[in-house]
Structure 1
Amino acid sequence: SLSSVSPLSVCLPVCLSDLYFRFNDVAYRWIALDNWTYTTTFSASTELRYFQLVFEGVDTVASISLNGVVVGKTDNMFRRYDFSVGQLLREGQNVVKVSLLSPVVYASERSRDHSSYRVPPDCPPPVQKGECHVNFIRKVSRFNSWELTSSFQLIVFIPCSSSSCLPDSSLSQWVVKVEVLVDAVEETKVEFNLSLMELSTEQSFTVLFPSGQSKNTFSLHVNTVSIHPIPFIPLCINPKVYFRTVELVQEPIAGSPGLSFYFRVNKKPIFLKGSNWIPAHALQDLVSPAENLLQSSVDANMNALRVWGGGVYEQDLFYSLCDEMGIMIWQDFMFACAMYPTDPDFIETVREEVGQQVRRLKSHPSVIVWSGNNENEAALATDWFGIPVAQQPRYHRDYVTLYVDNIRAVVQKEDGSRPFLVSSPTNGAESQQEGWVAHDPYDVHYGDTHYYSYSHACWDWTALPRTRFASEYGFQSWPSFSTLQKVSVSEDWSYGSNFSSHRQHHQTGNQQMLQQAGLHYRLPDSADPLKRYKDTLYITQVMQAQCVKVQTEFYRRSQSEVIEGKGHTMGALYWQLNDIWQGPSWSSIEFGGKWKMLHYFAKDFFSPVLPVGFEDQGSLVVYAVSDLSHDLHLRTVVLYEWSSLDPVCTVASGLVLVEGGSAEVIHKQPITALLAGCGGGSCTRLTCLLTFHLEDVNSQQGPINHLFLGSPKNAQRMLRPNITAEVQQDETGRYTVALKSSAVAAFVWLDVGDVPGRFSTNGFLMTTRNRTVTFNPWGPTSTQQLTRALTVTSLRDVY
C-alpha cells in the first residue's frame, strides 16, 4: 500500500501585489536575482522503515536537506527527483529545507564557464524583456522574473505503471504492452493479473523483482472484430485504456516532388485542426486552467493542439482531459529558438528528463507525436545567430548530438508506439537525408512549416505557402478592455501609453497591428480617448480574426489538391490558443479564458463541413470542405447589398459529390457576371458582399460564410446598423440576447465586460433584421447584470 503526505506547494515568502499588475514584471525582477531558502516541517513515524523524498518541478537549481543533512541537488525543473531519506527521519517533527540559487545568476555562470565557444543566443531581443543565457538552464525558456515554485511528497513506497497499445501490421490483433516500473527495497515476488474485462481477455504473471529500480514489460494479445474510424476508443473506466494507432505518413505524391506529411490514426487520414498551447500561467502551481481552455478548444471544433517547446510539459490532468475529449497532442520537448550546450552533465540531465517525461506521458493516447524542439533546425539552417561559416559544423554536430544521438535515442528506447520528429518546422524524412539539418527547413514539399508575414496584406491568399502541414501561423491582437482593466489604471488606457508599449513583446507589434488593420478597415477616430482606445482594441481583434480565417481556409481547401507540386495540406495549427498574461499576443483566448473574436471564427472555420469562398483571377470559387467519414452531395450562393437586409439575388449551384475527408470545388463563376446578373446590375464590388452556405437535398450543412469583394473601408452604402439588444432568460434558465438591426452589420461583437462566460456566436455578419444569440455564464449572474454590462459594437460603429 501507499502512504504519503499531501503535496506541499512552496510559495514566495514575501507580500506582493498581483504579479501581473501594470509593470510588476519589472518591479519584481529582484526576486530572480537573489537566492531563496524555503523551509517546512512535517511529522513522521520511524516505525515505517523505507522513505523517499520526492520533488516534482523544482524551479530550478537547489540543494535539498532534511534535518540539516544535504540529501541531494537539483538542476532541472522538468525532472522528478527521488531521495532516499529513511535513516534521516526523526520521530515527530522533521525539517525540509530547499535552498534555491538565482536562476539568472546560475545561467550566467554556466555560460561563462562554457568558455570554449559561444552557445547563442546570449540574450533575447530587448523588446521581449527576458533573461539572458536561458539555454544553459533546464527551466521554461521564456522565464520571467518570479517563477519560483515547487512541491514535494514524502512517500513510503512508490510503484508506478503505465500502458501503451501497439498494433500488429494487419490491425486484426492489438498488442497491449504494459510496463511495470518498481522501486523495491528488497527482492520481492509479485503475482498479478492483466485483464481487459469487456474483451474477456486475461493473463496472469508472476515476477521476481530485484531490489532497487527495475522495469518489466508484458504483452497481452487481443483479437479485434473491427476498428472504429475515430481517433480514440475507450475500453474500460478504471484504469482508462484506449486503443489507437498513429502513423506519420511521408511518402511520394503522384505528380509532385517531395513527400506527403500527414497523420493516419486507426488507418484513417486525419486533417489536424487546432492551435498551439503555451503555459497558461507563469506560476504553474497557482492555477489549473486546463479544463476550460481544452473545452474551449473542443467547442471550436479543434481536434489537435501542439504543446510548444518554449513552455513546460503540462500536468497529468491536461493529458487525461485530452484523452477524454479526443484532442490529439503534438508534444514538443522543451527546447526552443536557441542552440544548447552538449556538456556531459547537460546531456545527462536532458536524458533523464526525456526518459521521465516519455514514461509519464506515453500511456496517453492523445499524444500522437514527439518533437525534439521548436525552430532550432530552422535557426541553424538559416543562421539566425550569425555563426561564422567556419564554425557552423561544430553547431551542426552539437545539434545532432543533442536531438538525434540522445533525445531521439531515449524516445525510441522508451516508446515505439508513435513517431518522433527532430524539430518543428522540419522537412522530416528529407531533413534526415540531409544530415538532420535541411538546407531549407521551410520547403513546402516536405514536412511542416511555420509562416508569419505581418506587412503583406493578409487577405491575399496567393502569397501563402501551399504547405504539406501548417504547424504555426498567426497575427496579433489586443485582449478586451475588461481583461486589461484588471491590471491597469486609467492613465494606461490609450494605444500609445507606456503600459501599451511595455506589454508588447514583439518588435513593432503594436504598429504592425494597425498597419494590417488599416489595409481594409478605417481606424477608430473618436474624439473620446477612452472610446477610441476600446475601438482600437476591437479593430485589432477584427483584423486578427479575418486574417487567420483567410489563411486557415486556404489550408483546409488545399488538402485534396496539388498545384505546381504544392499542396495536399493536412494540418492547420494556428499560433496560439491561450495567453500567459493580459497583453497583446497571437492568442485566440485571453488570459482568464475569455474568447477573442478569432476563437469564435475558429468555431466556424474548423467546422466539420465548411464552405470556403475566394476570388481567383476574377472568378468566385467556392469549395466544400468535409472532415466527415461519409460522402455528401452539396450545392451552394446568396448576394447581399450593404444597405439592404433583403437578398439581392440567390444563385444555387448543382449538387456536387464531396467525398468524406476532402475539399471539392462546387461553384465557379466570374464575379463580373455574378454582379451583372443580380439586382438588375445594381451591385458593384463596393456596394455588395457575398454570403454563401452549403446545402444537401434536405438542409443546410455547416456555417454561413462570407466574402468581401472589396475592402470594407471603401464600402459604399454601409449604413450604421443601430443594433438594439434585449437580454432575456427563458424557462430553462438559459440567457439569450435578442438583436435587431436596421442594416447589414459586419463583425457584430457582444461584450459583457468581466462577467465570465461566452456567447454561442460572436463577431458575426448580421444580414437579418432579427437574430438571437445565447450566453452561457460560467458563474452566477442575472438578467439585470447582463443588461447593464452588455455592449454591442459593429464595424460601422467605430467611425
Structure 2
Amino acid sequence: MTYTPATFTPIAADWVAAPLDGPLPAGFPAGSLPAAVPGVIHTDLLRAGLIADPFDGDSEAAQQWIGDTSWRYSTSFEWHDDGSTRHDLVAYGLDTVATVRLNGEVVARTENQHRSYRWPVAELLREGANELVIDFAAPVPEASTRAERFGALPRVNHHEFNQLRKTASHFGWDWGIDVAGVGIWQPIGIDSWSGVRIDAVRPLVAVDDSGAGVLTAHVALEWDGRGSRDDSGLAVTVKVAGAGHGATAVEYVTRDAAGAVVEARVPDVQRWWPIGHGEQPLYDVTVSAGEAQWVGRVGFRNVRVNTAPDDAGRPFEVYVNDELVLVRGVNWIPDHAFLTEVDADRYARRLADAVDANINLIRIWGGGIYESDAFYDRADELGLLVWQDFLFACAAYAEEEHLAAEVEAEAREQITRLSGHPSLIIWNGNNENIWGYVDWGWAAALGERTWGEGYYRELFPRLLAELDPTRFYSPASPYSFGEYLHPNDERHGTMHIWDVWNRRDYSVYRDYTPRFVSEFGFQGPPAWSTLARVVHDEPLDPFGHEMLVHQKAERGNEKLDRGARGHLPEPASIDDWHWTTQLNQAHAIAFGVAHFRSLTPHNTGTVLWQLNDNWPVVSWAAVDFDEHRKPLWYALRDVYAPRFATIQPRSSAQALADAFEGYAPAKDVLALVLVNDTGDSWSGEFLVARQDFAGAELAAERVTISVPARGTASYELSAGVAAVGDPAAEIIVARTADEASGFAPAIWNAAEVVGQALAADAEALDVRAERTEGGYAVTVAARSYVRDVFLQVDRVDAAARVDRGLVTLLAGESARFEIASSANVDPAAFTTPLVLRTANGLLARGEN
C-alpha cells in the first residue's frame, strides 16, 4: 500500500455491494449486502451467508458466476469543509476495472489493481451527506472481451489473465483456486490539505568508502495551486536517527518546485546485513516540507550481483556489503487467495517459518502482488533478502498503449514505494516469459506482435536507472545474461528445473550443475487435517472428485505416484498415500538441495518453489494453508543449515582424466562435502563409518578437514568405507564429535527405502508419551536404524504444533518431540500408528 499521509480520512463504514449484471444463482436475494472496505466480493458474500466456503469441497465450480458478474459498491459518508485548499479522493487499490462516481458524477475509470489513484474532487463534494459509488466490471468476461478486441496472447491456464493488470493467480494456477473477483482491496478516502504535500519519497542509500551512510532522499512535491504571500521558498528537511550517529540535512526549493533531492550523511554508520551475516540496524527517516511529513525507515548497505563471464559460464553471485551471500531461498505466492485476509500477524508467522527453516531470501513471484508494507517491514527487521518480480508471469503481454501506460504507471509507483526497504535487493522483469518465447512455441504464434520484451529489456531497466539504480535488475527468471544464450542454460545465470516433477525422477537433479536455481520443486499434500477439512469424498481417494479439485497441477496425483515409485513402497491405504507422498516430497527436495549446495561455489543459490499456499491444496508448498509445517519444511530446515555436511558421488581423478580423452566421467567415488555458510572457518575431525542397521561398524576412517568461511571442502572416502557390501542393510555415516561445529551427521543410504531391510516400527522403536506444561512430549529411542520419524500431530489436534520432524535415528539414539497443544487427550494419542510415522513403517505396510 502506498504511503498514507496524516491528512487522509478513510471512507470505511456503511458500504454495501450489489450485483449489476451477469449470472446469479437461483434464489439470490434482491437488493444489496453489507460490504467490508478494504475487502473483496467473495468474502462479502461469505459473511452474508450467500455462498459456502469457497475453499470447501467443489465450491469453486459452483461459484464461478461471481467472476462473471459485475458488482456495485456504494456508501454514503459525511464530509465537512475544514478550510483546506485541496480535497482529493484517494483510492489505494481498486480490483480492477472500475468506474468511480461521487455524488452521481464520474470521477474516473480505472483498470489496474497494482497502483493507486488520486483525484481532486473539491467541486464534487457536498457539505454533509455524500454518495460514493464504484462499479466493477466482471473480471472474467472483461478479460475475454479485451482478448477479442486486442487479440489473444499466449498464456498458461484457461482465462485471458494477461489482458488485465490484475493478480494473475486470481484466475487460478497450478496450485491456486480460480476466484477472480472484484473489490476495494485497499483503503479509499478523502485527503484534505493545503499548501504543499509530499507525494512520494525515494530514500536511496549507500555506504561510501569512509564507512559513512549516504541517504539521498528524492522528495516529490505537489502544491495546491494557490498563490502565497510568502514566496521565499520552502525548506525540505531530512532527519535520520538510529543506531550510532544521526544526521539532518536541508534543501530549499522555490514555490511550485516538483521536488527536492536532499542528501544526509551518517558517519560510522552501522550497516544492515542479511540474516546470518550480521545485524539489521534500521534508521528512522523523517522528511518534512512545510506542514507535510513523511516517516519511514532505511537500512544502510550496498548491493550488487555479479554475472560477468568466467571459465564455467556466467555466475549469479549476490553480494551485500561486498560479502558473497550464498542464497538459501524460497519462492513466495500471496498467502491467501483473498488478499485482504492476510494481516500483519499472518505475515509475521509466515516469515518466521522462513527464518526458522534457515532461509535467507524470498522471491516474490510475478503472478501475485507487490506485497503489503507489513511484509517488507518484517523482512527488513529479520534480515530476509527479497527478490521482487514485476508482475508478469507465464504469458505474453501487449506493449500497445492500452496496457503499456498502465504498466509504466504501476512500475513507477512500486519502485518508488519499495525503495526504502533494505531487504529488497533484486528486481526481476518477469517469470518464465522469455523462456516461454524461446521454447514454448510463442514466437510462431505471435509473429510480429508485441509480447512484453520491451518492458523487460527497455522500460524496466530505464525506470530503475531513473528511480532506483541502487538495486540489481534481472530481465527474467530464468535468464542467462547473454544476448545469444538460451534463457534456461544451466551454465549461465539463473535456471528453473521442471523436468523433475513433470516427467523425470528426482535423481535427475544430480545430473545438473547449475550456477543458480531460482525455481524448482516437488509436490506433496498438506497436513491431514487441512486436507480432510475441505475434501469430503467417500471414501477418501487420491483420484476422488473433490481431491482432484484440490490438486491443480496437470495430472498432479499421477505425478505424485510416479515420483515416489522406486523410492518408497506402493501405499496400501489413503493414509499411507498421504504420508508416502509427503515424505517423497521431502526426500526429493532434500536430495536436490544437497546436491546443489555441494557444488558451492560453482552454484551460489537455490530458491525452492514454494514456501506457502493460498488455499488448502496439494502443492509444492513447505507450509500449508492452515499453517502446518509439512515434512518438506523440516527437510528444508536441515538441508539449508548454515553448516551442512553431505556425502555425494563424485568422479575419481582417473574418470576425470578419461573425460579429457572423450569419455564421459562416471561418478565412481563418494566424497564427504562440507559447506560452511558462516563467517568463521572450521577445522576438525570427522569419523566416517560404514555400519549395519544395528550399529555394528564394518569399516571406518578418521578425516581431518578444514573449511573456510563461506566456503566448502571435500574429502574422497576410502574404498574400504565406500564399498558397501549389502546396500539393503548398510549405510555410511559421517559425523564430528565437536558438538559446537554446527555440522549435523551426514548419512549415505546405499539403497532407496523400498530396497532397504528396515525393521518395522514396533521392532525398532521404544516410544514414550507424557504431558508437559505446554502440551505433550513424545520420546522415541531406536534399537535399529529408523528413517524419518515424524509426528502428524494435527490428526490429534488440528491446532497442535511440533518442534521437530523427519528425525532419522541410528541404533542407540533417541529424540524428544515437544508438542504445543491445548487439547485434553490421552498422551498416547500422539503415538498411534497414523500419528507417529516413519519410513520404516511404510516399508512394513508395503510388504504386507
597, 606, 631: which one aligns with 2:631: 597
The aligned counterpart of 2:728 is 686
After superposition, the Cα gap between the structure-2 partners of 1:33 and 1:533, relative to the gap in structure 1 and judged at 3 Å, is: same
- Structure 2 Cα separation of the partners of residues 357 and 415 of structure 1: 11
After superposition, give the CA deviation of every residue in 1:435-455 in whole Å (9 maximum; x if it has no partner): xxx441112222100012233
1:572-591 to 2 correspondence within 5 Å? 572-591=606-625
1:608-757 to 2 correspondence within 5 Å? 608-616=642-650, 617-637=667-687, 639=689, 643-644=693-694, 646-648=695-697, 651-670=700-719, 673-674=721-722, 684-696=726-738, 699-721=740-762, 723=765, 725-730=767-772, 733=774, 735-753=776-794, 754-757=797-800
After superposition, the Cα gap between the structure-2 partners of 1:59 and 1:619, relative to the gap in structure 1 and judged at 3 Å, is: same
Where 2:679 maps in the other structure, the secondary structure is: coil
The answer as to whether partners of 1:642 and 1:688 remain within 8 angstroms in 2 is yes
The answer as to whether partners of 1:611 and 1:694 remain within 8 angstroms in 2 is no
CA displacement at 1:6 relative to structure 2: 6.1
The aligned counterpart of 1:5 is 10
Where 2:480 maps in the other structure, the secondary structure is: coil
- Structure 2 Cα separation of the partners of residues 703 and 783 of structure 1: 35
CA displacement at 1:142 relative to structure 2: 2.3
TM-score of the aligned structures, taking structure 1 as reference length: 0.88
1:246-325 to 2 correspondence within 5 Å? 246-253=303-310, 256-288=311-343, 289-325=346-382
CA displacement at 1:461 relative to structure 2: 4.6
CA displacement at 1:462 relative to structure 2: 3.6
TM-score of the aligned structures, taking structure 2 as reference length: 0.83
- Structure 2 Cα separation of the partners of residues 675 and 6 of structure 1: 73
517, 520, 538: which one aligns with 2:564: 517
Code of the aligned partner of 2:676:
S
- Structure 2 Cα separation of the partners of residues 22 and 686 of structure 1: 43
After superposition, the Cα gap between the structure-2 partners of 1:785 and 1:592, relative to the gap in structure 1 and judged at 3 Å, is: farther
After superposition, the Cα gap between the structure-2 partners of 1:589 and 1:207, relative to the gap in structure 1 and judged at 3 Å, is: same
The answer as to whether partners of 2:612 and 2:622 remain within 8 angstroms in 1 is yes
Where 1:401 maps in the other structure, the secondary structure is: helix
After superposition, give the CA deviation of every residue in 1:131-184 in whole Å (9 maximum; x if it has no partner): 2x1111011112223432323232224635545344366364332111223333
Code of the aligned partner of 1:685:
P
Say whether residues 1:351 and 2:356 are aligned partners.
no
Say whether residues 1:479 and 2:526 are aligned partners.
yes
The answer as to whether partners of 1:166 and 1:177 remain within 8 angstroms in 2 is yes
The aligned counterpart of 1:552 is 593
Where 1:19 maps in the other structure, the secondary structure is: coil
- Structure 1 Cα separation of the partners of residues 824 and 703 of structure 2: 46
Gap regions ≥5 residues in structure 2: 1-5, 13-36, 171-177, 228-232, 286-295, 651-666
CA displacement at 1:794 relative to structure 2: 1.2
Counting aligned pairs with the same residue, the percent is 23
500, 517, 522: which one aligns with 2:547: 500
88, 93, 112: which one aligns with 1:52: 88
Code of the aligned partner of 2:339:
Q
Say whether residues 1:469 and 2:516 are aligned partners.
yes
Answer with 138-147 or 294-303: which moved more.
Answer: 138-147
Where 2:406 maps in the other structure, the secondary structure is: helix
The aligned counterpart of 2:167 is 140
CA displacement at 1:518 relative to structure 2: 1.3
- Structure 2 Cα separation of the partners of residues 85 and 520 of structure 1: 66
CA displacement at 1:53 relative to structure 2: 1.8
The answer as to whether partners of 1:329 and 1:367 remain within 8 angstroms in 2 is yes
The answer as to whether partners of 2:415 and 2:464 remain within 8 angstroms in 1 is yes
Please identify runs of 4+ aligned residues in structure 1 that moved more than 6 A: none
Code of the aligned partner of 1:311:
G
Where 1:339 maps in the other structure, the secondary structure is: coil
Code of the aligned partner of 2:586:
A
420, 426, 434: which one aligns with 2:479: 426
Say whether residues 1:79 and 2:79 are aligned partners.
no
After superposition, the Cα gap between the structure-2 partners of 1:198 and 1:674, relative to the gap in structure 1 and judged at 3 Å, is: closer
The aligned counterpart of 2:432 is 375
- Structure 2 Cα separation of the partners of residues 490 and 399 of structure 1: 43
Gap regions ≥5 residues in structure 1: 526-531, 561-567, 677-682
CA displacement at 1:620 relative to structure 2: 2.4
The aligned counterpart of 1:528 is none
CA displacement at 1:468 relative to structure 2: 1.2
- Structure 2 Cα separation of the partners of residues 490 and 349 of structure 1: 45
After superposition, the Cα gap between the structure-2 partners of 1:695 and 1:85, relative to the gap in structure 1 and judged at 3 Å, is: farther
- Structure 1 Cα separation of the partners of residues 348 and 800 of structure 2: 14
- Structure 1 Cα separation of the partners of residues 101 and 742 of structure 2: 64
Say whether residues 1:218 and 2:262 are aligned partners.
yes
After superposition, the Cα gap between the structure-2 partners of 1:148 and 1:695, relative to the gap in structure 1 and judged at 3 Å, is: farther
- Structure 1 Cα separation of the partners of residues 323 and 149 of structure 2: 51
Where 1:706 maps in the other structure, the secondary structure is: strand
The aligned counterpart of 2:216 is 177
CA displacement at 1:627 relative to structure 2: 0.5
CA displacement at 1:785 relative to structure 2: 6.9
CA displacement at 1:712 relative to structure 2: 1.6
1:33-48 to 2 correspondence within 5 Å? 33-48=68-83
Query: CA RMSD, aligned part only?
Result: 2.6
- Structure 2 Cα separation of the partners of residues 47 and 474 of structure 1: 57
- Structure 2 Cα separation of the partners of residues 717 and 537 of structure 1: 20
Say whether residues 1:194 and 2:242 are aligned partners.
no
CA displacement at 1:782 relative to structure 2: 4.6
The aligned counterpart of 2:52 is 17
Where 2:489 maps in the other structure, the secondary structure is: coil
- Structure 2 Cα separation of the partners of residues 762 and 242 of structure 1: 35
- Structure 2 Cα separation of the partners of residues 551 and 736 of structure 1: 32
After superposition, the Cα gap between the structure-2 partners of 1:535 and 1:478, relative to the gap in structure 1 and judged at 3 Å, is: same
283, 286, 295: which one aligns with 1:236: 283
After superposition, the Cα gap between the structure-2 partners of 1:3 and 1:450, relative to the gap in structure 1 and judged at 3 Å, is: closer
